[in-house]
């Protein structure tokens, strides 16, 4: 299916939005797996949560599909994050 990707700066945040047009996801079931369970694949949710500062599903503008918003705080000129 089709997906839309938006990249932008919002103040001191870098924002990535990924939207699909599928049936809504049950966000309560979106979990990373136990890292002690070593096997290929399934690390996407864990890696996203480790790398990004904020991860959330938000209501899509048209109310259709799923919209995942990822935020990463950018460093200031002083070097603090």
For the chain, the structural domain boundaries read 3-73
What pLDDT was estimated at residue 36?
Answer: 75
Tell me if the pTM is above 0.85: no
Most confident of 18-22, 32-36, 62-66: 18-22
Q: Rg of the Cα trace of the chain?
A: 15
Q: pLDDT at residue 15 above 60?
A: yes
């Amino acid at each position: 299916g089709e997906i839309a990707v938006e990249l932008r700066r919002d103040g001191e945040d870098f924002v990535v939005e990924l939207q699909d047009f599928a049936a809504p996801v049950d966000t309560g079931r979106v979990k990373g797996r136990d890292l002690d369970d070593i096997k290929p694949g399934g690390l996407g949710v864990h890696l996203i949560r480790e790398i990004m500062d904020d991860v959330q599903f938000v209501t899509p503008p048209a109310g259709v599909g799923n919209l995942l918003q990822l935020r990463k705080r950018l460093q200031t000129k002083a070097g603090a994050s």
